[in-house]
Amino acid sequence: MEPALLRFVLALEGVVRLFGILAAWLCLALVLLVAGDVFARYLFNTGAVWAQELQWHLISPIALFGMSYALFSGEQVRVDVLYERFPPRAQQIVEIIGGLLIIALGVLLVKLSWSWVGMSYARGEGSPNPGGLPFRYVLKAMIPLGFALLALQGVAHVLRHAFALPPRDTV
């Protein structure tokens, strides 16, 4: 069972890793967009509403995809001053309970945000600003997608710790 379980966990983590890479590229795009907007404003005394809106539109997937990648890479927030003093079995229990709470949070937020995205799509919601970006529901769809990814990584996290699967770098 362990090889199949390990392949399943690696597949889940692979999906999260891809979205983490996408978030990293979006960070680069955001930096270039902000720099371009600043240059346009200060050198040419011009700017575009869509460029400013796109800046905050890019922040959402960066944060929402980045949170699952942070859990994947072990960079999640925890109180290491206490955690490091726990025996290995207690650390394993903390990781499993934390993962289960992450799954619950992810599923709950997907459930709560899904209808909100649907309403935005049904209305064809776009920016209220002249020259702003249309399709605001695409931005809003990042919320359930980001929390679904977090829940998926939570499943992988729980399985990895519950069954003491080998670390990713040794597989």
Give the pLDDT confidence of 1-24 residue by residue, as tens digits.
688 999 999 999 999 999 999 999
pLDDT for position 104? 98
- CA dist 165 → 78, 81, 85, 126, 156 (Å): 21, 25, 22, 46, 10
How far is residue 153's CA from residue 71's CA, in Å, rounded to a whole number? 7
pLDDT score of 164 more than 70: yes
- The letter for the amino acid at 39 is F
* CB-based contacts of 78, cutoff 8 Å, min separation 6: 94, 98
Across 60-76, average pLDDT? 92
